[in-house]
A and B are shown apart, each in its own frame.
Chain A
Amino acid sequence: MDAGAAYMKFLAQGVLLDSKVVTFREVSRALHVHNNTAKQMLYDFHKSENEKRPGAVYVTYVVFGTKKKPTEHRNGADDDVEMTSSMPDSSPGDVIAQAFSLDLIPEELLEDALEDYEEVRSIHVYSAAAHSAKDMALLADTAQEAHGSRNGEDNLSGDRDYVITNPSVRRRERKGAATNVAATPAGTKVTRKEIKSAFSKPAPAPSKLKEEVKASQPAPEAEKASSSAPAKKPTPSLKRGGSANSGIMQAFSKAATMAKKEKPTSQPATPSGDDSSVQPMSDDGEDDSEMPQPKARAGTGRKSRKEREEELRRMMEEEDEDEEEEKAPSPEPEEEPPASPPAKEEPAEIMTTTSDGRRRGKRKIMRKKQIMDDQGYLVTIQEPGWESFSEDEPALPPKKTTSSAPPAPAAKGKKSGPKGNQGSIMSFFSKK
């Protein structure tokens, strides 16, 4: 019974260890067995586990048959006295349609449910779980994911085994159809999982994995922010924070109004300080695609409607923002300061001495400062300040003050204004 051992092991892993809901389709897919065999495997697993320890595994059954009191379908001709009398041609409608029922029943209700049946044509185990299947929505989610297409796989390529095949199926061959089909699910896959990971309540086991994800996620973001484009990152996030006006964003809106000026840099800083607080709004789209995908997913609930709407709104706003930014940079004047300083930087440099090939002087820089605000959050603010320097080559940036200071690249000798902040294209057109 090595085959038997294989599926027992698979099911024990899935149901008991990962506390997932395992449907026959999942078994069938994972072990490459026929659907019907998978149903028997689930049954066998349920039986043997509950012999060892009653109540260890709960299953749901699918029952197909006719109910004892067939839902008497209203027959129009019966209560249609007027018509039948008026239409002598109409035959007295004695046609009652046979009504079948296909029910999904948790095992504890099976016995009662069966009493309603007159005839059972078919019964089998649908799914197994370590707990009673109270929430059918949870099961629906699992069941849906057992379908190829919902996993983002190309189910058109025909790699899937169908119980009923259709030899006459026709498809049209289109150029680029394959890429289209492949691309669409891939994109949705990411967003789907990403939502899931934020929604970690029902599954204790995978949530550990997610902790790692959370921890690892801010890292690339922070790197990106500090190394490549220091000004780019904060600007859009400020806008998003400032303009979001409902839902989760509301929690942040207070802070946003209080410290609008401080906001830009707070974004990269907060994740390292207290990552759980920022988690709900972490999905900036581009960042999340970098995060490792948690493989274990079962048990996570269906993504709620609110979250989906929220996601949608955020997406839409982002788009709108981009446009608005082009045509109207004024609505939030606070966003200007981070954009302007680099432009003024050059004249702010004051030379005091230029002797023996060395330059000494003071220049104005933006200093980063971390403070704890009244709500107990660590925020990083930028402050203008003077810094003295002494150097032998004219444009060498100082490595003096703050260790984490990113303004260094911006302070390079050449005019790096437009590059340093891609925030507003309007600065390009402004009178000089």
Chain B
Amino acid sequence: MVTLKDVLHSGLLQKPSGDEPKVLQRSESNYTPLQTFNLGKDLQYQQQFADIYFLRLTKIKPSLEEVANSAWEGTVIGDETAKKVERVLDVRQGELCWVVATVYMDMPAKPNILEDVSKDRWISAPSTVQKYYSEDGLDSVMLEDESGRIRLVGNVLKKYFLVTGCIIAAMGTENANGEFDIIDLKFANLPPQPERWELSKSSQKGTKSGRKETKIKDEDVEMIDSAPSTQGKKIAIVSGLEFSGSDSSYAMELNLLLEFLLGDILDPAAQSETAQISRLVIAGNSITSEIKAVEEPTEKKLHKKYGYDSTAYNAQPSKLFDDFLSELLPTIPITLLPGLLDPANASYPQQPIHPAMFPKSRAYTSIPGAAEPGWLDTVTNPWEGEVEGWRVLGTSGQNLDDIFKYVDSDDRLGMMEAMCRWRCSAPTAPDTLWAYPFQDDEPFVMKECPHLYFVGCQPEFGTTVISGPDGQMVRLVLVPSFSATREVVLVDMETLDVSTVKFTA
């Protein structure tokens, strides 16, 4: 509890003192983005989606078999020893066995492409269903690989989050109904975690010989001397700014956010803390799509060119957002992920928003083809990179929102954790989450465990730390939509501690 007396005549609540205020310098951002989710230029959309599942399974299978092997090796139930079978079709009735395959959720409420095709619905609109999960127990869990599909039953299924596309190892027996009655199931668990500064170190190695020596000297210890200091450094993550041409109800909060990040408001002590925020990450939904829900029937003929009502376009949101960015960019570098509402492709992975959207801010973007990341770095969603030495994985939330529809739970952090344990950042792609039909690589598989995993555009803030069997530690952060909660998330880049700042006006 603070009273007025406590704060009066202190700090800035006094006459101008005439002291020369010192100029603050923002901490440098050590930043190496990765191109994991960049699609390249010559895209083909002719191929089928099945390869994604195949690639995902082959990538995750070896490590998952290891996990399952160590867990179930020599398991004897009754007088039968569990043995591994290679394919789903090899599961025999009455034999205790385990198999690694992909989960498929059969849900009546889930959009189904085959149904769309059979009913001649060729214009597919994004599904507006809140949940695919249905209460009446009509949903069933299947396990499939390229050989076939088998229905899973067993109480153990209720213990886990399962969605289409995640890879599991399941142990059990096939019952008389031809269902696989499972006793236990395993996930691949967290992938190996790179050590801190791994990327920057490897890039330094070749160029700076002086650094090399120190590195060899204490190869295994924390490389404090060669690593840049990150004491007190922070990054700010915000999502769902949703600049709008019509809704200005939180314009003042947006303005406070801007002034906070600029360091304009607050007193010198707080400003010097703000100066430690070395980077701003915008995790999607920066612009609202102004969809006119109700067309007024009384309106006379609208002037349309090629069926497009040109008056429906409003440049205001992107202009406001551009203003916001250009105001911030002189003092802070920005990483910009596209989101559901942003002007980028709809399918995962979303490709960077084109700089042409930002006539003022684009001077800060990188020249196409340049090796150095832009000061305003428009990146993919999901995005992976190294910030202050930590491996960071971030998305704008579609992957989590889609998983959310599969399960009967509100525990979004648990779903985030599950994604890490599945080693897949977007398991429901391409089933219900639109995705590019990958042929050669499946980028959603987590090859390396991030230190920080954030998901943007969430209804509320949340954070936790999970740990893996090999000492991996992952900080999970649910970044709330600014338009909903007026919150920005600050992550301390030394400790990975998280704090929030809520703006009220």
Contact = CB atoms under 8 A, between A and B. Distances in A.
Interface in A308-341: 308-309, 312-313, 316-317, 319-321, 323-324
Contacts of A83: 161, 411, 414, 417-418
Given A76-B411, A87-B421, A184-B359, A147 B327 contact: yes
A206 B417 CA distance: 58
Interface in B369-426: 372, 374-375, 409, 411-414, 416-418, 421
A150 B498 CA distance: 33
A181 interface: yes
B267 A36 contact: yes
Contact of A170 (B316, B364, B414, B464): B364
Contacts of A259: none
B271 A172 contact: no
Interface string A90-131: 110101011111111000001100110111111111100000
Given A76-B411, A120-B7, A137 B331 contact: no
B368 to A, nearest CB: 10
Contacts of A162: 262-263, 330-331
Given A4-B16, A37-B21, A149 B323 contact: yes
A328 to B, nearest CB: 12
Interface string B122-138: 00000000000000000
A376 interface: no
B159 A165 contact: no
A122 B23 contact: no
Contact of A169 (B258, B296, B329, B409): B329
B159 A316 contact: no
A353 interface: no
B207 interface: no
Interface stretch (B24-32, B198-206, B440-448): B24-32
B17 A137 contact: no
A166 B331 contact: yes
A104 B256 contact: yes
B244 to A, nearest CB: 9
B467 A74 contact: no
Nearest to A68: B1
A62 B257 CA distance: 12
A246 interface: yes
Given A103-B504, A156-B326, A165 B499 contact: no
B191 to A, nearest CB: 13
Nearest to A48: B15
A22 interface: no
Contact of B414 (A71, A76, A312): A76
A144 interface: yes
Given A75-B462, A76-B413, A163-B24, A150 B12 contact: no
What is the interface residue range for chain A against chain B?
35 or more
Contacts of A114: 1-4, 7
Given A87-B417, A91-B466, A171-B364, A99 B12 contact: no
Contact of B13 (A43, A102, A170): A43
Interface in B229-270: 245-246, 248-249, 251-252, 255-256, 258-260, 262-270
A196 interface: no
Interface in A1-24: 3-4, 7, 24
Interface string A153-189: 0011010101111111111101001001100110010
A26 to B, nearest CB: 12
Contact of A36 (B28, B159, B268, B326): B268
B468 interface: yes
B2 A143 contact: no
Given A43-B12, A122-B269, A166 B418 contact: no
B75 interface: no
B462 A164 contact: no
A136 B256 CA distance: 12
B364 A140 contact: no
Nearest to A28: B264
A165 B305 contact: no
Contact of B251 (A98, A117, A140): A140
B365 interface: yes
A107 to B, nearest CB: 10
Contacts of B329: 169
Given A73-B463, A164-B262, A99 B270 contact: no
B87 interface: no
A87 to B, nearest CB: 7
Given A64-B266, A64-B270, A155 B326 contact: yes
Closest 7 CB pairs of A and B: A76-B413, A93-B464, A124-B12, A320-B303, A140-B252, A164-B263, A140-B251
15 contacts: A25-B259, A71-B502, A75-B413, A79-B411, A89-B189, A89-B466, A91-B466, A121-B267, A122-B11, A125-B12, A140-B505, A164-B26, A168-B29, A172-B363, A184-B359
